[in-house]
């Protein structure tokens, strides 16, 4: 399972990450500054360094004038002490002259000059803080749609239901579109979002079958199995019977498929191999009556569980669906299990939905998961029907039945 999807997911994660890093609008901020103020800080810096040209010119002019005066004063300073060494007052005057013109210039232009001088101070802080600089990137919806396309295609090719694709897309969109994402964390965020998004697909009330059977006060616990032709119902019943036997839970099989040729013999063979009692009538007889008898037998013998096999039918066949409704009315199953073929992908999901609408289902067995390389049904069917996958059929042996574990699915998809 997931032979292709795992690889596709991996390459899609890399591709989207690279795309976000490449196409995203890069924003910078220092870790010292809260993000919202980031823009203000930079635009402020920018303003300061790109002040009005005239202002710059005036400042430069003034600076030049000051330098010129300084030079003059230096000359005077050198000359005066030699020529008029004794004239201390003169010398004092010169000193004053040295101070004042500059001071006056500074005072005169203080607001502009000082502003420009102090402007450079934050730069120092900025450059020292650059070490802690965090660079974020942002993509818009259009860019996201473009980047998601490959993953969307991969999910579709692997039979993932449209509803599930939409959910995954929306979850990723929520994390990536118009949101500043740290550039070093893009891949991590995508991987994490996909993991939780896919994990959420299985957040439906789960059923521990063994506990349910053990906890039922009034025996027997009745389970009806249904689905389309050849999906794996009878084989799954035999596997469950084997599992119950291993857990020391007794059961009886009801051969309620009185329709398909050799169906009763098929079930009889399993019953013989497992050493379990089977209740059967003739072909063509009422399947509901067979189920009724099996339950009666279980009650009389104190048997823990009854497993009802039914004939395969298409959900669109009204008569056969009515027959199924009758079986459920008579047998009042504690659990109605839809058995679907994992390999049928979207068809399996649609069938589960239709059967659920027609007779109501409590849980799902996905048979033939061992030959399903795509895994779309396993990823989708619970989310679409809101019913748990109870088991995966993973082969033709009795032991080829795995309790469904969503964590294993997420792991097998390479998302852990």
Ligand X SMILES: Nc1nc2c(ncn2[C@@H]2O[C@H](COP(=O)(O)OP(=O)(O)OP(=O)(O)O)[C@@H](O)[C@H]2O)c(=O)[nH]1
Contact positions vs Mg ion (CB under 5 A)? 233-234
Q: Is 281 buried (19+), middle (13-18) or exposed (0-12) by CB count in 10 A? A: middle
Q: Is 283 in the site for ligand X (CB under 6 A)?
A: no
Query: Which among 118, 104, 108 has a CA at the least distance from the CA of 69?
Result: 104
Residue 242, binding choice from ligand X, Mg ion, none, Cβ under 5 to 8 Å by partner class: none
Residue carrying the six token digits 């660079």: 135
CB of 221 to Mg ion, least distance (A): 21
Site string for ligand X, 208-237 (x = CB under 6 A): -------------------x-xxxxxxx--
> Strand pairing partners for 26?
137
From ligand X, Mg ion, none, interface partner of 231 (C-beta below 5 to 8 A by class): ligand X
Please name which of 342, 341, 338 lies closest in space to residue 378, comparing C-alpha atoms: 342
- Show the binding pattern over residues 243-282: x = contacts ligand X (CB under 6 A), - = does not: --------------x--x--x-------------------
Could you tell me which residues come within 8 angstroms of residue 191 by beta carbon, excluding any fewer than 6 positions away? 13, 415
CB of 329 to ligand X, least distance (A): 21
Task: Using the minimum distance from each CB to ligand X, give the nearer residue, 232 or 287.
Answer: 232
The answer to the question of residue 396 lying near ligand X (CB under 6 A) is yes
How far is residue 60 from each of residues 1, 66, 116, 118, 129, measured CA to CA in Å? 73, 10, 11, 16, 30
Q: Alpha-carbon distance 230 to 348, whole Å?
A: 12
In the bound complex, what is the minimum distance in angstroms from residue 385's beta carbon to ligand X?
19
Q: Which is nearer to Mg ion, 185 or 260 (CB)?
A: 260
Integer Cα distance of 351 and 155 in angstroms = 20
Find the shortest distance in angstroms from Cβ 226 to ligand X: 9
Query: Could you report how far apart the first and last alpha carbons of the chain are, in Å?
Result: 16
Q: Which of residues 364-393 bind ligand X (CB under 6 A)?
A: 367-368, 370-371, 393
Residues in touch with ligand X (CB under 6 A): 227, 229-235, 257, 260, 263, 312, 367-368, 370-371, 393-396, 400
């Amino acid at each position: 399972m997931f032979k292709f999807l795992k690889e596709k997911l991996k390459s899609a994660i890399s591709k989207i990450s690279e795309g976000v890093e490449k196409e995203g609008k890069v924003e910078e901020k220092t870790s010292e500054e809260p993000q919202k103020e980031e823009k203000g800080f930079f635009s402020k810096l920018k303003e300061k360094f790109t002040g009005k040209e005239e202002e710059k010119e005036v400042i430069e002019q003034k600076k030049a004038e000051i330098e010129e005066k300084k030079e003059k004063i230096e000359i005077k300073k050198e000359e005066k002490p030699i020529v008029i060494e004794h004239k201390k007052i003169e010398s004092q005057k010169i000193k004053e002259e040295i101070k004042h013109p500059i001071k006056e210039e500074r005072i005169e232009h203080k607001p502009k000059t000082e502003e420009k001088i102090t402007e450079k101070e934050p730069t120092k802080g900025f450059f020292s803080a650059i070490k802690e600089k965090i660079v974020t990137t942002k993509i818009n919806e259009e860019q996201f749609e473009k980047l998601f396309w490959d993953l969307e295609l991969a999910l579709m090719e692997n039979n993932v239901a449209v509803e599930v694709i939409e959910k995954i897309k929306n979850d990723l969109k929520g994390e990536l579109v118009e949101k500043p994402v740290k550039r070093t964390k893009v891949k991590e965020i995508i991987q994490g979002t996909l993991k939780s998004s896919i994990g959420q697909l299985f957040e439906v009330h789960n059923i521990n079958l063994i506990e349910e059977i053990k906890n039922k006060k009034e025996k027997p616990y009745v389970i009806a199995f249904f689905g389309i032709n050849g999906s794996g119902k009878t084989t799954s019943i035999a596997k469950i019977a084997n599992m119950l036997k291993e857990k020391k839970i007794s059961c009886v099989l009801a051969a309620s498929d009185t329709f398909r040729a050799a169906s009763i013999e098929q079930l009889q063979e399993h019953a013989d191999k497992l050493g379990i009692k089977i209740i059967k009538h003739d072909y063509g007889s009422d399947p509901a009556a067979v189920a009724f008898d099996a339950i009666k037998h279980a009650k009389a013998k104190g048997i823990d569980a009854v497993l009802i096999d039914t004939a395969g039918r298409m959900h669109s066949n009204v008569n056969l669906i009515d027959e199924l409704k009758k079986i459920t009315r008579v047998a009042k199953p504690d659990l109605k299990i839809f058995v679907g073929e994992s390999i049928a992908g979207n068809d399996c999901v649609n069938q589960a939905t239709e059967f659920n609408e027609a007779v109501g289902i409590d849980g799902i067995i996905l048979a033939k998961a061992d030959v399903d390389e795509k895994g779309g049904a396993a990823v989708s069917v619970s989310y679409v029907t809101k019913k748990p996958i109870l088991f995966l059929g993973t082969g033709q042996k009795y032991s080829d039945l795995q309790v469904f574990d969503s964590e294993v699915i997420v792991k097998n998809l390479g998302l852990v």
